[in-house]
């Protein structure tokens, strides 16, 4: 099986390369080899490679930066997924695409399910929603997997930022009124492997849109507290953490206060579930790669 993975050095792509190694011929294309904003090049590459499966692990994920470069965010997060879906449908192969909790406005007082009304608050969320809509409009075999608060030991993410700041400062103020589920990129990759295996062995559920996050919930402050606890276990001294409201930490892009996603549909339809977010954090830290 030939699997095209867009993105090379991103958090999810790196974990996918590890999780799928040995089970398929991986055709990994980073920005240096394939610029998703170049539609013609994207079509040529897919038609030349003729993969059996396309996994779109590339995205414009700089949430605040997207506010000032909307055209590029939409090119990568909306136009490129549409082209990938078209080419996948033409080849009659599945497309796996990752989306985000930011397609919602965060005003619901319970976890979001896949059928809830969307309402992104910023450019990043709007561009990701447009990508979802484009894939669904094309049809074909596809999985849109909405996830949240992705982290790993590579790249730029909350875990690495907190590990650094907790050791550099005496006091650290962290937002406590945004609630969601931290999701390890390694968990996403392993779940993707399971989904592929089910498809390949005729045990697939319905194609469509699903939520895929770590189980449980916490705030950014709670996530930071868990990171600090693990640093202290290794003998490191950490800053004192202070919870603050979002209003005390203004950013270019507004974040949803409720990022909780109900993942029961994926469990019932595909029999795939991620571990609890805290267990996944421990696995990420204890088994670095």
pLDDT tens track for 84-123: 999 999 999 999 999 999 999 999 999 999 999 999 999 9
Query: Does 193 fall in a domain?
Result: yes
Residue 175 within any structural domain of the chain:
no
* Widest Cα–Cα separation across the chain: 57
**Predicted confidence (pLDDT) per residue in 65-88, tens digit:** 999 999 999 999 999 999 999 999
In a domain, 97, yes or no: yes
Tokens of 220: 């950014």
CA-derived radius of gyration, the chain: 19
In this structure, the chain runs to a length of 289
Q: How many domains does the chain have?
A: 1
Whether 284 is in a domain gets the answer: no
CA distance 57 to 105: 23
- Environment class of 250 (CB within 10 Å of its CB; exposed 0-12, middle 13-18, buried 19+): exposed
288 has a pLDDT exceeding 80: no
Say which DSSP state 79 is in. I
- 132 contacts: CB under 8 Å, gap ≥ 6: 81, 97, 99, 103, 144, 209
Just list the catalytic residues: 124
pLDDT reading at 289 higher than 90: no
- The answer to the question of residue 65 being in a domain is yes
pLDDT value at residue 33: 83
Confidence of residue 161 (pLDDT cuts 50, 70, 90): very high
pLDDT band per the 50, 70, 90 thresholds, residue 37: confident
Q: What is the CATH number of the domain that holds 187?
A: 3.40.50.720
**Taking Cα atoms as reference points, which of 175, 152, 165, 176 lies closest to residue 238?**
165
Instruction: Tell me the helices (H) and strands (E) count for the chain, helix number first.
Output: 11, 12
| Confidence class for position 32, pLDDT limits 50, 70, 90 | confident
Nearest C-alpha neighbor of 13 from the set 46, 77, 45, 57: 57
Rounded CA-CA distance 105/142 in Å is 25
**Rounded Cα–Cα distance for residues 182 and 151 (Å):** 7
- Residue 232 domain flag: no
Domain of residue 46 covers 2-152+183-215+259-276
In angstroms, what CA-CA distances link 270 with 90, 196, 208, 265? 25, 10, 11, 8
pLDDT of residue 24: 93
Q: What is the mean pLDDT of residues 212-229?
A: 98
How far apart are alpha carbons 241 and 165 in whole angstroms? 11
Residue 12 lies in a domain: yes
**Does a structural domain hold residue 178?**
no
Q: Which of residues 23 and 31 earns the better pLDDT score?
A: 23
């Amino acid at each position: 099986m030939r699997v095209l993975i867009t993105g090379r050095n991103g958090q999810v792509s790196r974990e996918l390369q590890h999780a799928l190694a040995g089970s398929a011929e991986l055709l990994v294309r980073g920005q240096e080899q394939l610029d998703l904003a170049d539609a013609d090049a994207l079509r040529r590459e897919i038609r030349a490679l003729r993969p059996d499966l396309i996994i779109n692990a590339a995205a414009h994920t700089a949430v605040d930066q997207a506010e000032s470069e909307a055209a590029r965010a939409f090119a990568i997060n909306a136009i490129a997924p549409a082209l990938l879906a078209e080419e996948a449908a033409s080849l009659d192969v599945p497309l796996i695409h990752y989306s985000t909790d930011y397609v919602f406005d965060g005003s619901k007082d319970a976890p979001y399910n896949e059928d809830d009304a969307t309402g992104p608050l910023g450019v990043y969320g709007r561009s990701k929603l447009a990508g979802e809509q484009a894939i669904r409009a094309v049809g074909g075999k596809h999985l849109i997997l909405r996830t949240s608060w992705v982290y790993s030991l590579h790249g730029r993410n909350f875990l690495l930022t907190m590990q650094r700041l907790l050791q550099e400062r005496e006091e650290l103020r962290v937002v406590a009124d945004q609630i969601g589920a931290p999701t390890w990129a390694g968990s996403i990759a392993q779940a993707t492997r399971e989904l592929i295996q089910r498809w390949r062995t005729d045990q697939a559920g319905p194609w469509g849109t699903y939520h895929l996050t770590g189980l449980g919930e916490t705030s950014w402050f709670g996530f930071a507290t868990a990171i600090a606890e693990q640093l202290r276990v290794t003998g490191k001294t950490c800053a004192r953490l202070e919870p603050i409201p979002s209003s005390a930490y203004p950013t270019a892009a507004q974040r949803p206060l409720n990022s909780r996603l109900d993942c029961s549909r994926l469990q019932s339809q595909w029999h795939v579930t991620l571990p609890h977010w805290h267990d996944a954090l421990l696995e990420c830290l204890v088994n670095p790669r």
